[in-house]
């Protein structure tokens, strides 16, 4: 099963390689990864998406927790949470396809962020399934390049 795991880490050199080394060394897989500083500049937040059966996920969270630089490990899948991914897509936009591209982007609430003579760069955010859907629809029109970032996630506010 797919799990989104969020890890608060001491913001120190080499910490990221401790995390990725743990995954490669133990044969766990990382589907996506994203890291950046939090409000506290000494702490960074790493979000990763991985998959495995319960025993593997339990090992992953325990091993992450065991890292001396890890402050907190949260398996988001045990909580109510929101998650987002972003993609930049360079898509062909010539006279006869421009309108079609704009319409698709509009439906998915994306944005055109760069306009070239024969192409647009569009920005889309959403869950991984939505990004995939945009890509599938734009592909026949002509995608030239895609850059996607890793998933980021946050727990929802507690009701009541």
Partner 1 sequence: MKLTGAQAFIKCLEEHGVEVIFGYPGGAIIDIYDELMKCDTVKHVLTRHEQAAVHAADAYGRVKGEVGVALVTSGPGATNAVTGIASAYLDSIPMVVFTGQVPTMLIGNDAFQEVDIVGITRPVTKHNYLVKDAKDLVPTIREAFHLARTGRPGPVLIDLPKDVLATLIKYPEPKPVKMRTYKPTYEPHPGQIEKACLELLKAKRPVIYAGGGVINSNAFEDLTELAKKLNIPVTMTLMGLGGFPGTDSLSLGMLGMHGTYFANMAVANCDYLLAVGSRFDDRVTGRVDAFAPKAKIVHIDIDPASISKNVRVDIPIVADCKHALIAMNTWFDRNKDFDANARVEINRPWHEQIKDWKNKHPLGYVEETDIIKPQFVVQKLHELTGGNAIITTEVGQNQMWAAQFYHFNHPRHFMTSGGLGVMGYGFPAAIGAQMAAPDKVVIDIAGDGSIQMNIQELATARQEKLPVKVAILNNGYLGMVRQWQELFYDKKYSQTVMEVVPDFVKVAEAYGAVGLRATKPSEVEPVIMEALRTDNTVFMDFVVAREEGVYPMVPAGKATTEMLLV
**Sites of contact with partner 1 (CB under 8 A):** 10, 14, 17-18, 21-22, 25, 55, 58-59, 62-63, 65-66, 68-71
CA torsion angle 110 48 43 71 (round to 10): 150
Indicate the residue among 43 and 135 with the shorter CB distance to partner 1: 43
Least separation in angstroms between residue 19's CB and partner 1 is 11
CB-CB neighbours of 101 under 10 Å:
23
Residue 128: both structure tokens together: 């991984």
Of residues 12 and 118, the one with the C-beta less far from partner 1:
12
Q: How far is the CB of 78 from partner 1 (least distance, A)?
A: 16
3-state SS class at 155: strand
CB of 23 to partner 1, least distance (A): 11
What is the rounded CA–CA span in Å between residue 56 and residue 126?
Answer: 27
């Amino acid at each position: 099963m797919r799990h989104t795991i969020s890890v608060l880490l001491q913001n120190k050199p080499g910490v990221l390689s401790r995390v990725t080394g743990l995954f490669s060394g133990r044969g766990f897989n990382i589907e996506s990864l994203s890291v950046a500083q939090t409000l506290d500049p000494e702490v960074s937040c790493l979000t990763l998406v991985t998959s495995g059966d319960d025993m593997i996920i339990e090992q992953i969270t325990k091993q992450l927790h065991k890292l001396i630089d890890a402050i907190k490990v949260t398996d988001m899948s045990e909580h109510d949470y929101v998650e987002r991914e972003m993609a930049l897509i360079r898509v062909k936009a010539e006279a006869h396809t421009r309108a079609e591209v704009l319409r698709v982007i509009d439906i998915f609430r994306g944005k055109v962020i760069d306009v070239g003579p024969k192409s647009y760069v569009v920005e889309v955010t959403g869950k991984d399934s939505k990004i995939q859907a945009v890509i599938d629809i734009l592909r026949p029109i002509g995608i030239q390049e895609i850059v996607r970032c890793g998933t980021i996630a946050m727990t929802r506010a507690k009701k009541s």
